[in-house]
Structure 1
């Protein structure tokens, strides 16, 4: 097992790599988490595969991975509900194992993961996210070698996990902002469409929304899409009108 501490040269190379990874986060369509796992296998010598696990909404998911081991090793942990990466997320801890086939903490996962992927050593760092989201994440590093990860690798993993925490936090915030923008845009379109229906067909606000809802159900389309069409054309294509619309309301 390697035991050398992380040197200043190692730290400098890591810092340079993280600068490049951070740059990917600012590029539209960039894949910073993929860049992070690639940097992980570059800077932890015995690593052959790495991944980022995210727990959100009660579900585990691998957001990025590299190498042959990580995708299947991660999937087995999600299936079994236990393993170094899953437990690192749940326990807010760092887990290192030098031989998964002999580690009594995860006997089922270790046996199956080794049989299916050849993994022997794992290093799992919990990422500390800096917001109030319900997401939790972990950086996972795998090797087919026994006792592959020493003190130097744990230190390098800590540096990588720290940057990973910042990246995942930024990406979660970016997703929230994008979802909020989308919701606001949809609400705006729905409001415009309701106004058109209220004026054209002399409907109340509640009746106008019911008309959009029924049109959405019958056409098997999102309410926002129906609303955008009405806002663009001023016309609603609908096969039936909901109960509660006054008989005297003109049918478009």
Structure 2
């Protein structure tokens, strides 16, 4: 189909010449994908791999698919069906432009039937075709329902020219919708895991500070400085030093921080 930009809500308009057939097909696809997001909490990153694999399986002329996430100003390919597709993604990150990058930044759905002739991404298209063989692309920005600030995009690649038809746009939208739920679930899980780790880390550091404060009659600030200097000098994580102090009551330190009272044992 011609190169185009679609508003996300408009993709389904005229998605098929046979509305009834397409509706049934999309319903089956939705049913097949319904349980994927639920796997996120127990199967790590595997559901993302399942998503991109399903995308290739459901779009007949697709040769590869990837899932891109933009977080803290950095683009990263979180799942991919091939090294060539990952390279096509990375080229977009390097150039700073391409259907995936622009879909994320503009909140649109992008389709191109020939990347070598598409003036929107001329530099990327020529390089991507030469290095990976990609010719056609579909890129969907995913709508994430979380507060992480992350943005994601489902990218579909084909080595064929004009590979994607209107029917494929509708199928891709269903996949992108489930992908949105899936990535949201994974981000929520990661946030919970990070919070748990942070709480455990803070607990270890707090216990170690308490021991040092009691043993050496230090203030909170001084106790933390002692742990920080010990961490720097030993080239070890502060939490590891703190865990050792919490377990043994002993701090191995080569020098006492400037301005902190002598580190001799208290009474």
**Same-fold call, TM > 0.5?**
yes
What's the CA shift for 1:132? 2.2
Q: Which residue of 1 aligns with 2:31?
A: 16
* Bigger RCO (CA 8 Å, 6+ sep): 2
Select 1:48's aligned residue among 63, 85, 92.
Answer: 63
TM (normalized to structure 1)? 0.94
Paired positions, count: 251
Select 1:224's aligned residue among 239, 249, 256.
Answer: 239
Question: Aligned equivalents of 2:171 and 2:243: distance in 1?
Answer: 50
What's the CA shift for 1:227? 0.5
1:51-76 per-position Cα deviation (integer Å, ceiling 9, x unaligned): 01111111111000003531111011
Q: Which residue of 2 aligns with 1:92?
A: 107
Q: Which residue of 2 aligns with 1:82?
A: 97
Structure 1 segments of 4+ aligned residues over 3 angstroms from their partners: 1-6
What's the CA shift for 1:143? 0.3
Select 1:201's aligned residue among 216, 219, 224.
Answer: 216
TM (normalized to structure 2)? 0.89
Contact between 1:24 and 1:35, CA under 8 Å: does it hold in 2? no
What's the CA shift for 1:32? 1.0
Select 1:122's aligned residue among 110, 129, 137.
Answer: 137
Q: Within the alignment, does 1:240 sit opposite 2:262 as a pair?
A: no
Q: Within the alignment, does 1:104 sit opposite 2:119 as a pair?
A: yes
SS of equivalent residue, structure 2 residue 34:
helix
Unaligned runs of 5+ in 1: none
Change (3 A) 1:142 1:247: closer
Unaligned runs of 5+ in 2: 2-14
CA RMSD of aligned residues (A): 1.8
Select 1:187's aligned residue among 178, 202, 205.
Answer: 202
Question: Aligned equivalents of 2:23 and 2:99: distance in 1?
Answer: 29
1:122-170 per-position Cα deviation (integer Å, ceiling 9, x unaligned): 0000101112221111000000111110111100111111111111111
SS of equivalent residue, structure 2 residue 70:
strand
